[in-house]
């Protein structure tokens, strides 16, 4: 009896207990789990004769999940030791960590978390064997009744007939679980409990509220420390917190959840982004259009949104007719296309709109600017011939990469999403659309990955995910090919041979929604935006009242060159006003006193250093160049 063991491109012929073989090969403590013929497995097992065994270490996502799932069980073990009355929920591995849900009347405190951590260390130090065992359904039920774990009994009831019912034991702790797990508790080397939050059992608000303890674990303390540092930085940059502190956006309970308000600074930031992008659209041959926020439901039935997207839409009735608040801009652009006869000479026809849309997102998934119920897209629809399709997609990709470079966003993931389970149109049309996207990506020489079944219901798409802190990926630009809506709305153009032909439609957003993009910028720059998009570019600080008149002269000089400035007239001491300007992320601080006033100069500093005294005219010229060049440099003027 033998099987093939694969690890790091090496293949060995082995036999016996997998865990014992790993120890003999000197891989004990390195290998965390296995895949046997493609199925995840514990290590304490003898594979069947002829099996293909892939060994999983920390470098594999599955290996990390096994490690962190075991960490969650150690957490549950510790909680049951300290608080025997607690009832167990579920405890999966998640990205960058794990959690376990507990039902308990009293809330867990920060002191409780410290006690739990200490107990976890004790369990790890004991290096307990983690053993899997299986029971018939009736015996499994009796065991859970004996353990008084009623929520686990509920999970047991949902296990399909015929499926194995497995438990894991470590010391005196037993848990219903599919696994797999590490073979010993001592293999978990570095962990940290992060926080506690509320979570409804099974995600249903009608069910009891559990307490969810989050944690993370790594192979080494060094990796854990690095992660915790990055996490602290991510919390400092969290757009929900920082955006409100800096006056970029707000939400108001009385207005409703998921609805975004922009105070003056946020409105200025958004207008700057919109104006820049609007000019770039016009340069590239796009034509502006504006469509209503409200359209009759019949239109959405024809488009397919009624059947495929209705649960995410808002409806109302007007004069006995059903209307929908638009969740997308495409049907409106289609009506404009259809309003007149189109010729092949008109194509490609590119309509763009800064279109505000509304989608019914459930309260539980709303998340600041990242996921809201009302948002504005830099939306466009391109109507073209099949022969023009690939070139248009390449042009859109060029536009996307130009815009991302302009905002200093260089770290992203490109995904090609294919036909989902629920779709409209023929398989042949989907194949054509997917091939066009693939060819365009390959022609511009960018790396991409395939997301099987993740396309929109009306067509395949290219998505650009923008990487943030802690590996977070924000949804960004998107390009979608659609042969279906032109068919549904009977869109045509007059071909050179005198026949009517069907155009292809490209849905695309360059930045995505402005709300989400502003959230990305807040976190990417920590609120300290490049000068060209900073809502306030210069804060002027008069040292004393006698310098206020000159401060206004400086302000007028800035405004004449379209540089956004303001004066701090607070009577506080200068050092306080400097700290305040730095905390508000103002790019440049101008200080004016007797010498500056007398010589027509300003003393300039940033959040990091004092740059010295400059002639007002010279420093304005430097700022204008930095704005014109859209410099991303932060911390002072570059050397001329």
Instruction: Show me where the domains of the chain are located.
Output: 3-57, 62-228, 264-525, 531-628
CA 34/CA 42 separation, integer angstroms: 6
pLDDT for residue 624:
96
Q: How confident is the model at residue 456 (pLDDT cuts 50, 70, 90)?
A: confident
Tell me the pLDDT tens digit for each residue of 483-524: 889 999 999 999 999 999 999 999 999 999 999 999 999 999
Residue 618 has pLDDT above 80, yes or no: yes
Residue 294 has pLDDT above 90, yes or no: yes
Average the pLDDT over 21-49 and give the result. Answer: 92
Q: Which of 381, 419, 528, 605 is catalytic?
A: 381
pLDDT for residue 469:
80
Read off the tokens for 260.
Answer: 């975004």
Q: How confident is the model at residue 92 (pLDDT cuts 50, 70, 90)?
A: very high
Residue 640 has pLDDT above 60, yes or no: no
CA 518/CA 524 separation, integer angstroms: 10
pLDDT for residue 635:
61
pLDDT for residue 411:
92
pTM for this prediction: 0.83
CB 356 within 8 A of CB 362: no
β-strand partners of 473:
467
Question: What is the CATH architecture assignment of 62-228?
Answer: 2-Layer Sandwich (3.30)
Is 377 a residue of the active site? yes
Is 333 a residue of the active site? no
CA 613/CA 637 separation, integer angstroms: 13
**CB crowding 263-297: b at 16 or more within 10 Å, else e:** eebbebbbebbeebbeebbeeeebeebebeeebeb
Is 379 a residue of the active site? yes
Is 359 a residue of the active site? yes
pLDDT for residue 477:
96
Residue 639 has pLDDT above 80, yes or no: no
β-strand partners of 557:
none
Give 3-state DSSP helix, strand, coil % of the chain, rounded to 5. 40, 30, 35
CA 616/CA 563 separation, integer angstroms: 13
Q: SS3 of 511, please?
A: strand
Nearest to 74 by CA among 218, 184, 221, 222: 184
Average the pLDDT over 371-400 and give the result. Answer: 95
Query: How crowded is residue 54: how many other Cβ atoms within 10 Å of its Cβ?
Result: 18
Q: Which of 181, 192, 281, 330 is catalytic?
A: 330
Average the pLDDT over 259-285 and give the result. Answer: 97
Question: What is the CATH architecture assignment of 3-57?
Answer: Roll (3.10)
CA 523/CA 534 separation, integer angstroms: 14
Q: Which of 359, 373, 516, 577 is catalytic?
A: 359
Query: How crowded is residue 39: how many other Cβ atoms within 10 Å of its Cβ?
Result: 9
Average the pLDDT over 416-430 and give the result. Answer: 86
Residue 355 has pLDDT above 90, yes or no: yes
Averaged confidence pLDDT in the chain: 93
Q: Kindly give the residue spans of alpha helices, DSSP state H, lying in 444-483.
A: none
Average the pLDDT over 221-249 and give the result. Answer: 94
Which bin fits 451, alpha (ψ -120 to 50), beta or left (φ > 0)?
beta
Residue 638 has pLDDT above 60, yes or no: no
Q: Which of 57, 65, 378, 379 is catalytic?
A: 379
Q: Which of 77, 239, 265, 461 is catalytic?
A: 461
Residue 29 has pLDDT above 60, yes or no: yes
CA 640/CA 638 separation, integer angstroms: 6
The CATH superfamily of 264-525 is: Bira Bifunctional Protein; Domain 2 (3.30.930.10)
The CATH superfamily of 531-628 is: Anticodon-binding domain (3.40.50.800)
CA 493/CA 383 separation, integer angstroms: 10
Query: Inter-axis angle of helices 514-525 and 221-237, to 10 degrees?
Result: 120
Tell me the pLDDT tens digit for each residue of 163-206: 889 999 999 999 999 999 999 999 999 999 999 999 999 888 88
Distance (Å) of CA 359 to CA 260, 312, 423, 459, 592: 13, 5, 20, 20, 50
CA 523/CA 43 separation, integer angstroms: 41
Is 461 a residue of the active site? yes
Give percent of the chain with pLDDT exceeding 70. Answer: 99
pLDDT for residue 60:
94
Q: Which of 373, 419, 507, 528 is catalytic?
A: 507
Nearest to 415 by CA among 383, 447, 388: 447
Average the pLDDT over 3-14 and give the result. Answer: 83
Cis ω for the linkage preceding 244 (within 30 of 0): no
Tell me the pLDDT tens digit for each residue of 58-89: 999 999 999 999 999 999 999 999 999 999 99
Residue 11 has pLDDT above 80, yes or no: yes
Tell me the pLDDT tens digit for each residue of 249-271: 999 989 999 999 999 999 999 99
Residue 381 has pLDDT above 60, yes or no: yes
């Amino acid at each position: 009896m033998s099987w093939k063991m694969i690890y790091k491109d090496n293949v060995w012929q082995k036999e016996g207990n997998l865990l014992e073989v790993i120890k003999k090969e000197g891989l004990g403590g390195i290998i965390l789990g296995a895949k046997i013929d493609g199925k995840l497995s514990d290590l304490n097992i003898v594979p069947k004769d002829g099996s293909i065994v892939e060994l999983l270490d920390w470098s594999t996502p599955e290996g990390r999940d096994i490690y962190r799932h075991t960490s969650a069980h150690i957490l549950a073990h510790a909680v049951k030791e300290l608080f025997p009355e607690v009832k167990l929920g579920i405890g999966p591995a998640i990205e960058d960590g794990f959690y376990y849900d507990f039902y308990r009347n009293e809330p867990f405190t920060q002191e409780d978390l410290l006690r739990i951590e200490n107990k976890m260390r004790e369990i790890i130090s004991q290096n307990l064997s983690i053993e899997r065992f299986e029971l018939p359904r009736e015996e499994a039920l009796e065991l859970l009744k004996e353990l008084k774990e009623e929520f686990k009994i509920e999970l047991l009831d949902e296990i399909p007939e015929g499926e194995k019912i497995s438990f894991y034991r470590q010391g005196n702790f037993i848990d219903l679980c599919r696994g797999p797990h590490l073979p010993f508790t001592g293999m978990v080397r570095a962990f940290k409990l992060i926080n506690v939050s509320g979570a409804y059992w099974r995600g249903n608000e009608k069910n009891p509220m559990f307490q969810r303890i989050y944690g993370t674990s790594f192979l080494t303390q060094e990796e854990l420390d690095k992660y915790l540092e990055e996490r602290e930085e991510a919390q400092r940059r969290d757009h929900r917190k920082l955006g409100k502190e800096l006056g970029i956006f707000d939400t108001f309970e009385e207005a409703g959840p998921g609805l975004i308000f922009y105070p003056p600074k946020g409105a200025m930031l958004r207008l700057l982004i919109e104006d820049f992008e609007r000019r770039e659209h016009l340069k590239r041959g796009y034509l502006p259009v504006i469509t209503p926020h409200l359209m009759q439901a019949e239109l959405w039935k024809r488009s397919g949104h009624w059947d495929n997207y209705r649960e995410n839409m808002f409806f109302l009735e007007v004069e006995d007719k059903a209307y929908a608040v638009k969740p997308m801009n495409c049907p409106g652009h289609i009506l404009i296309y259809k309003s007149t006869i189109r010729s092949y000479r008109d194509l490609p026809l590119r309509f763009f709109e800064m279109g505000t849309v509304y989608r019914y997102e459930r309260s539980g998934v709303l998340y600041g600017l990242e996921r809201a119920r009302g948002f504005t897209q830099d939306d466009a629809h391109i109507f073209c011939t099949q022969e023009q399709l690939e070139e248009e997609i390449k042009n859109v990709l060029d536009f996307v990469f130009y815009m991302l470079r302009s905002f200093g966003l260089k770290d992203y993931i490109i995904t090609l999403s294919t036909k989902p389970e629920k779709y409209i149109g023929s398989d042949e049309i989907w194949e054509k659309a997917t091939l066009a996207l693939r060819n365009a990506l390959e022609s511009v020489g960018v790396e991409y990955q395939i997301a099987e079944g993740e396309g929109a219901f009306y067509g395949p798409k290219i998505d650009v995910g923008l990487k943030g802190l802690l590996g977070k990926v924000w949804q960004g630009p998107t390009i979608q090919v659609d042969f279906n809506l032109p068919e549904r709305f009977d869109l045509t153009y007059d071909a050179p041979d005198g026949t009517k032909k069907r155009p292809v439609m490209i849905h695309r957003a360059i930045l995505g929604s402005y709300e989400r993009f502003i959230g990305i910028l807040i976190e990417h720059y920590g609120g300290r935006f490049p000068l060209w998009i900073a809502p306030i570019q210069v804060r002027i600080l008069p040292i004393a009242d006698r310098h206020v008149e000159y401060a206004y002269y400086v302000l007028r000089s800035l405004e004449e060159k379209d540089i956004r400035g303001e004066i701090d007239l607070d009577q506080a001491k200068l050092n306080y006003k400097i700290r305040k300007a730095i905390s508000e992320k103002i790019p440049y601080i101008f200080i004016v006193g007797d010498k500056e006033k007398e010589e027509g100069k300003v003393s300039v500093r940033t959040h990091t250093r004092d740059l010295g005294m400059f002639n007002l005219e010279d420093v304005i010229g430097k700022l204008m160049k930095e704005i014109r060049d859209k410099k991303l440099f932060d911390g002072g003027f570059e050397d001329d």
